[in-house]
Chains A and B, each alone.
Chain A
Amino acid sequence: MNILVCIKQVPDMESRFKVDAAGTWFEESDLAWRINEYDEFAIEQAVQLKEQLGDADLTVLSIGPARLKEALKKALAMGCDRAVHVVDAAAHEKDPFQIASSIAAFAKDKSFDVIFTGMQSQDRGSGQVAVLVGELLSIPSLTTAVEFALEGDTISVRRELEGGLKAVVKAKVPALVSCQLGLNTPRYPTLPNIMKAKRKELLEVPVADLLTEEARLETVSLAYPEKKGSALVLEGEVGDLVEKVIGILKEKTAVL
């Protein structure tokens, strides 16, 4: 069986973001980069499926600049067999349709049986790429998975809906599955596996070889949200803060 997992590298969400000079993206210097959290669940599920099947082949793919080699190496150390780096220094300017078109162009003649992705990215969060890839390849997409199983040629997924409700949905392979947080427990790469990953294949593909589509979305601007909140901000020494908070709770709430 042939498995593909698509991942994205995103900045640490705890970072302080600075809008860049063009006013359409954030400055990338001084940011720590990591694998999009949703995609870690996708990698783990792909590796678990490979382990379940034994003779499966697992490719990890990502689109972006040179820095994402680090993310691909982690995915290899987690258990992927080979990595494909679609090299695009301006990936952040591409819209979800272009990203999905690039992935579909790579995947179309590779006969992947199962494709895993995160359900969205933490930085832009469009939630579109997974479904668009499935549609472009004319295969079923099962999104927002919090449980996954493959029996025979049938994938069974529990989709997370709202308010604690889940839906049981199935599709025959080939199919795409987008992964929600909590689907599994992503493993930490072990040192021997990190060493082993260094010898695994890491293929570079220029984005121009895959992408022929024009963008359908234009980013007008990126900015800080207007501060709607009127929170009273308290700073200082913990003992003083505790006194102040107790005073406020006594005055403003009926709970003390």
Chain B
Amino acid sequence: MKALLVGEYREGKLLESSYELIGFAQTLGAEFELFLVGSTDQLPQVDGKLHLADVAAAGEFNPALHKQLVLDAAQKAGADTIVFLHSSYGWDLAPRVALALNAAQVSEVVEAAADGYLLPACNSKLRRTVKATTDRSVVTLQVGAFMAAEPGGTPQVEELSVAAGGNTEFGGYEQAEAGEVDLGKAEVIVSAGRGVGKPENVAMIEALAKALGGEYGASRPVVDAGWVPHDRQVGTTGQVVSPKLYVACGISGAIQHLAGMKKSEFVLAINTDKDAPIAEIADVLVVADIKQFAPALTAKLVG
């Protein structure tokens, strides 16, 4: 395999997750070169060739232009595998590159096996093993699935020339407004998932959090439904937390949620489904209906 690794750069910074791409290539023992739309002030620390397009000319968001730059780099590198992270940057750009190369794309790889790549299916309840039937392929890696390589080394930079282009316009970033709570500082977090059933039941999660001396949080569906404000969302698109105790209440454990709380010291999960993916990272799984269990536990704690 000759891989081209597509790093990520946002708000003037190289994203740390880019080192996971290198980790992946090292795990496979693959020869690799890097690609980045970035800046010489923020180079990845790794030995090897880096195809660098100047972000001042190419912009941080311009998929049509970035596609062309990746294709230029892939050709120079003689790459047969183009590797992205399965992130908002990667899942947007990868199919564009795949189509232009007449290459298959394998999305959200969690593991490379002898007979193909392993991907999650059906909310991580199943695993598919998939392989490309094309000569070249495009791969996106689930964020956090591969161990990041330790930074170290100096890349040999090859500048890519950037022509004007693109069919979209970038109007800047917006950071979510700071809310009333910083979950990152909480020692105990009790989070509500879909299993709480209805908005009125969020109160019992809040009560349990209070009884345990912590804050309450929520998984994405509960926030999207408007039952809990966004600043309490735990997961990739919310906050990444690592409390001493995390209590997952009626949360099945979508990847995006697990990525936000798997560094918690101790995880207690309450779920009616014994097979829910949350069981993979929980220390204790209580098989029960949260609507009965939470009030009972709170009563015992405060009683």
Q: Scan B86-116; emit 1 where CB is below 8 A from any A CB, else 0.
A: 1111011011101110011111100000011
Q: How large is the interface on A (under 10, 10 to 19, 20 to 34, 35 or more residues)?
A: 35 or more
Least Cβ–Cβ distance between A247 and chain B, in angstroms: 11
Contact status B124-A225, CB under 8 Å: yes
- For the residues of B in contact with A, the DSSP-based class is mixed
Contact status A142-B126, CB under 8 Å: no
Least Cβ–Cβ distance between A241 and chain B, in angstroms: 5
A246 proximity list for chain B (CB < 8 A): 297, 300-301
User: How far is A216 from B86 in the complex, measured between Cα atoms in Å?
Assistant: 19
Least Cβ–Cβ distance between A82 and chain B, in angstroms: 28
Contact status A233-B103, CB under 8 Å: no
A221 proximity list for chain B (CB < 8 A): 115, 128-129
Can you name the residue of chain B whose Cβ is closest to the Cβ of A185? B226
Least Cβ–Cβ distance between B58 and chain A, in angstroms: 15
| B55: interface (CB < 8 Å) | no
Contact status B221-A181, CB under 8 Å: yes
| B155: interface (CB < 8 Å) | no
Q: Report if A182-B223 is in contact (Cβ < 8 Å); known contacts: A122-B123, A233-B285.
A: yes
B100 proximity list for chain A (CB < 8 A): 135
Q: How large is the interface on B (under 10, 10 to 19, 20 to 34, 35 or more residues)?
A: 35 or more
A30 proximity list for chain B (CB < 8 A): none
- Cβ-Cβ contact count across A and B, 8 Å cutoff: 259
Can you name the residue of chain A whose Cβ is closest to the Cβ of B91? A127
Contact status A162-B169, CB under 8 Å: no
| B279: interface (CB < 8 Å) | yes
User: How far is A39 from B252 in the complex, measured between Cα atoms in Å?
Assistant: 21
User: How far is A241 from B10 in the complex, measured between Cα atoms in Å?
Assistant: 46
Least Cβ–Cβ distance between B107 and chain A, in angstroms: 4
Segment from A71-79, A106-114, A167-175, A200-208 that makes contact with B: A167-175
A124 proximity list for chain B (CB < 8 A): 121, 128
Contact status B237-A128, CB under 8 Å: no
| B162: interface (CB < 8 Å) | no
Specify which of A123, A170, A217 is in contact with B106 (CB 8 Å cutoff).
Answer: A217
Least Cβ–Cβ distance between A233 and chain B, in angstroms: 5
Segment from A1-9, A10-18, A47-55, A58-66 that makes contact with B: A10-18
Q: Report if A170-B169 is in contact (Cβ < 8 Å); known contacts: A125-B121, A164-B238, A165-B176.
A: yes
User: How far is A168 from B175 in the complex, measured between Cα atoms in Å?
Assistant: 11
Contact status B176-A164, CB under 8 Å: yes
| B63: interface (CB < 8 Å) | yes
Contact status B296-A216, CB under 8 Å: no
Q: Report if A170-B122 is in contact (Cβ < 8 Å); known contacts: A222-B127, A238-B292.
A: no
Contact status A222-B121, CB under 8 Å: yes
Contact status A165-B173, CB under 8 Å: yes
Beyond the given A125-B120, A241-B293, please list 7 additional residue pairs across the A-B interface where CB-CB is below 8 A. Answer: A16-B275, A140-B168, A143-B91, A216-B104, A218-B130, A239-B296, A246-B297
A contacts, CB < 8 Å to B: 11, 13-14, 16-17, 19, 26, 95-97, 119-120, 122-128, 131-132, 135-136, 139-144, 156, 158-172, 181-182, 185, 214-225, 227-229, 231-235, 238-239, 241-243, 245-246, 248-249, 252-256
